[in-house]
Amino acid sequence: MEKLGKWVEQSKNIVLFTGAGVSAESGIPTYRGRDGYWEKYDPDKYANIDYFFKDPSYYWNFFKEVRYPVLENAKPNIAHKSIAKLEKMGRIKSVITQNIDGLHREAGSENILELHGNTRMFSCIGCKAEFAMAEINDLLGQSLPPRCSHCGGTIRPQVVFFGETLDPDILKRARQDSFQSDLFIAAGSSLVVQPAASLPLIAKQNSAKLAIINIDPTPLDSMADIVLNISVSRVFSKIITGSDHLAH
């Protein structure tokens, strides 16, 4: 952790690449890793675009019962806040996240590339009208699946489902920032979901240092300059405050 702390101090173009593990300590379950499951609903269904078109009510039941209550209560943790603080200190080039929970923005990060979209925003597939969480909650009270209040069309979350491609502009910027980074920190990602998991390799190609923070091993550990099998909150509280306490 001390070595990583020194690298953070010396770097000016850090890319923070974050996955579900960063939000786990905000109470949002991960897909993989210990305790990583959404018990009742199958991610192969609620996170799959073909299934969404086949039966949107499966996604919306999952959203109403599981995701909405979790999101409503989730608050940024010390890792999100520390990353935002590092950005204000001018050390961070961008936060590239696989997370869809919006907690980096809530913590104060500004230069964020949300590779997989944001599950707090929604749009009508027909007329493209946009809806925020509170409006969706109202519409869900009226019908399930919710219907667009303008045209009656199907509403979807602004996330990238499995089976869809990433926004090409966001992916291009993520690749550029990774290539230009001097330190690439992959935190709380299983590093198996592509193309996101290729970003650390792009950074390494251009001689960035690669640090991986994950309580479990990842397939890219052998390529990393530092691997910390420690919770992200503990690492960031140490790096930012210098105190090695377990923060939640």
Could you give the residue numbers annotated as active site? 116
Give dist(CA 77, CA 20) in Å, integer.
13
Distances (CA, A) of 242 to 4, 37, 215: 12, 33, 20
**Helix, strand or coil, per DSSP, at residue 159:** strand
Give dist(CA 201, CA 248) in Å, integer.
30
Q: Which stretch binds ligand NAD (CB under 6 A): 22-30, 121-129, 150-158, 202-210?
A: 22-30
User: Residue count at the site for ligand NAD (CB under 6 A)?
Assistant: 27
Contact 113, 173 (CB under 8 A): yes
When binding is defined by CB under 6 A, the residue of 14, 16, 33, 237 that contacts ligand NAD is: 33
Give dist(CA 206, CA 130) in Å, integer.
39
Query: Does 146 interact with ligand NAD (rule: CB under 6 A)?
Result: no
In this complex, which beta carbon is closest to ligand NAD, that of residue 70 or of residue 129?
70
Map the footprint of ligand NAD across residues 165-224, applying CB under 6 A: 188-190, 193, 213-216
Query: Does 99 interact with ligand NAD (rule: CB under 6 A)?
Result: yes
Element (H, E) at 94: strand 92-97
Query: Does 98 interact with ligand NAD (rule: CB under 6 A)?
Result: yes
Query: Does 232 interact with ligand NAD (rule: CB under 6 A)?
Result: yes
Query: Does 92 interact with ligand NAD (rule: CB under 6 A)?
Result: no
Q: Angle between the 232-241 and 78-88 helix axes, to the nearest 10 degrees?
A: 40
What is the binding site for ligand NAD (CB under 6 A)? 19-21, 23-25, 28, 30-33, 36, 98-101, 116, 188-190, 193, 213-216, 231-232
